[in-house]
Every structure is written in C-alpha cells, then in structure tokens.
C-alpha cells in the first residue's frame, strides 16, 4: 500500500469510526474538507464517498478491507461542490427542474466518475448527467 493510499485508508477508518449515521458521516467528511478551496468547472459534480459506520449494529468492528469496499463498490455519495453549469438545461441535457445542492446525498455508478482523494477523503468527479438519483438515507443503498 502506498503512502497516499495508506493515508486515504486511515482517513476512511477515521470517518467510519466517528460515524454511526449518515448525518455523522456528512459532518466528518465536511470536517476533513473544511478550508479546502474547490472550484469545479462546467457541468461537473464533485462528490465524496459515503462511508458506512466502522461497527455493525451488533458491535462487530469492520475490517479495513470491508471499509475500503465503499471506495470501490459504493454507489452513494455526498455532493461537495457543483460546477456553475451543473443541472442546467442545454442542447444536450434537459433536467426538467431537477436540482442538487451541496450536502445532498446522491447515487451514481462508481465507474462513471473520476476518482481522486482530497485531503485523503475519497472523492469522485462526475458529469451532471451521470448522477442517477438523489437519496435521503445512503445507508439504505449500500
């Protein structure tokens, strides 16, 4: 494991251990991204991976491998930045009034986004048309 991926794994473990609900996960992600200037262009949407709690309701602590699966197989994300053209109708896409805002939970195919780590938080960058749906509770989908 490289130093870069080791840092990301540590950060994912921190978020997982501090989060027993999606609301706590959202707070932890925001805490680790606080102060970082994000300037997303065009119709792109920058999201952070939903990271499930590090312990099951029965008290079993998840392994690092299980926590890391959210990064590669998870399909729910927290919107952390939007380009100025995101979810605006144009000649290619019509959104019929659908909008997203920073702080919304969404679902998308992991493989459709470009993976990056920001301050060791696993993130992805998507075209607005690749966001499939808005969700209220990401824990119901992972």
Question: What does the pLDDT look like over 91-109, one tens digit per residue?
Answer: 888 898 889 999 999 999 9
Tell me the Cα Rg of the chain: 15
User: In the chain, pLDDT over 70 holds for what percent of residues?
Assistant: 94
For the chain, the structural domain boundaries read 3-136
**Element containing residue 64 per DSSP (H, E):** helix 64-73
Question: How many whole angstroms separate alpha carbon 83 and alpha carbon 62?
Answer: 35
Question: What does the pLDDT look like over 5-27, one tens digit per residue?
Answer: 778 888 888 888 888 889 999 99
CATH class of the domain defined by 3-136: mainly beta
Confidence of residue 142 (pLDDT cuts 50, 70, 90): low
| Local structure of 134: helix, strand or coil | strand
Question: How many whole angstroms separate alpha carbon 7 and alpha carbon 1?
Answer: 10
What pLDDT is stored for residue 2 in this prediction? 45
What pLDDT is stored for residue 40 in this prediction? 96
What pLDDT is stored for residue 97 in this prediction? 87
């Amino acid at each position: 494991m490289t130093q870069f991926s080791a840092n990301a794994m540590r950060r994912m473990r921190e978020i997982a251990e501090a989060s027993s609900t999606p609301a706590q996960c959202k707070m932890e992600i925001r805490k680790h991204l606080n102060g970082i200037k994000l300037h997303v262009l065009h119709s792109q949407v920058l999201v952070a991976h939903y990271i499930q709690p590090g312990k099951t309701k029965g008290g079993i602590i998840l392994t690092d491998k299980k926590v890391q699966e959210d990064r590669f197989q998870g399909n729910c994300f927290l919107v952390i930045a939007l380009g100025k053209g995101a979810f605006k109708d144009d000649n290619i896409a019509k959104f019929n009034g659908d909008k997203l805002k920073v702080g919304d939970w969404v679902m998308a195919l992991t493989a459709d986004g470009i993976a990056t780590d920001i301050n060791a938080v696993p993130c992805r960058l998507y075209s607005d048309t690749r966001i499939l749906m808005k969700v209220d509770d990401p824990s119901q989908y992972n």
